Structure 1
Amino acid sequence: MANQVEPGLIPALFDELQSERFVTLATVDHETQGPNVSAISWIFAKDEQTLLFAVDQRSRIVENIKGNPLVVVNLIANESTYSIGGKASIHQEKLSGVPLKLTLLQLVINEVRDVMFYGSKISTEPVYEKTYDKTAADRLDRQVIEAMKKA
């Protein structure tokens, strides 16, 4: 059902965000003040009102959020497309417990919109695969998600 608006994550979306998954993140670019969209996968729903996500400390995302905290996460799940909007902030400058220099960001959700166009549904969700050492990627992904759960 298109155009529904919720104040937080519905149970199906909360469940989908309990492990790594593909989402896009829209921020306001700190230099151009225009839109900036990035793909990320280290995202975790702490509760129905809070998302945590990890990015490289050098990521443009970090500077963009410092300049303007308003962000939108785009999630394709539950046979639809969702816009999860709110204010983001730095939760930890360096995420502890992982070998990479990652910044942990927190998004306090103010609305979740079902933005799928009328009369349709998603029949196949995006799927991706890591193109580097699978064992190392799996180990790193587990470390990052576990560190996020503890934060």
Structure 2
Amino acid sequence: MANQVETKLGEELLPLLQEERYISLSTVDHETGGPNVNSISWVYAKDEKHVRFAVDNRSRIVENIKSNPHVAVLMFGAGSTYSITGNAKVVQEKMEDVPLKLALVEIHISEVRDVMFYGSRIINEPKFEKTYDKEAAEKLDKQVMEGMLK
């Protein structure tokens, strides 16, 4: 996909966003009008034009999106770095069947761009681990992913 601009997730990226993964989300700060960057992991590509994610419904992310829907997602995968931009909206203020107060947000994708610098590739994608109770984390992750599929 290098040097190409797509309007949807291709068959290489779609499955990568159908599992929990580390991504960076950029929003426009509702107070300063400047950039606001966060790392999140509860993300799911509903289809090639829509990506959903879950965040605490008290998060600055939610207020930023309500004020300005323009967002950018930065993800690593398929040997490269991708910028996915679009407009986001809060689909649910509080996800059902999830014990935490999480908002469900959906991005309508307008652009997918390979932004890796020339002559290079990603050889190790970022990995993370949950530092709280492993069983509780797995149960919560399952509930959140199921909630995003509804």
Q: What is the TM-score when the length of structure 1 is the normalising length?
A: 0.97
- State how far apart, in whole Å, the 2-side matches of 1:113 and 1:3 are: 8
> 3-state DSSP class of the match of 2:90?
strand
Partner of 1:115: 115
Give me the whole-angstrom Cα distance separating, in 1, the residues matched to 2:104 and 2:37. Answer: 18
Q: Distance in 1 between matches of 2:74 and 2:47?
A: 17
Shift of 1:19: 1.1
Distance of 2:119 and 2:4 partners within structure 1: 14
Q: For this pair of structures, how many residues does the alignment match?
A: 150
Per-residue deviation, 1:98: 0.5
Identity of aligned residues (%): 61
1:1-151 pair list within 5 angstroms: 2-150=2-150
* TM-score in terms of structure 2 length: 0.98
How far has the Cα of 1:3 moved from its partner?
Answer: 2.3
The runs of at least 4 aligned residues of structure 1 exceeding 6 Å deviation read none
Question: Structure 1: where are the runs of 5+ without partners?
Answer: none
Provide the C-alpha distance between the structure 2 equivalents of 1:27 and 1:86, rounded to a whole number of angstroms. Answer: 11
* Amino acid in the other structure paired with 2:119: G
Structure 2: runs of 5 or more not aligned: none
Distance in 2 of aligned mates of 1:62 and 1:90: 7
* Separation (CA, whole Å) in 2 of partners of 1:66 and 1:3: 32
Which amino acid letter does the alignment assign opposite residue 89 of structure 2? S
> How much does 1:42 deviate?
0.4
Q: How big is the alpha-carbon RMSD for the aligned residues of Structure 1 and Structure 2? A: 0.7
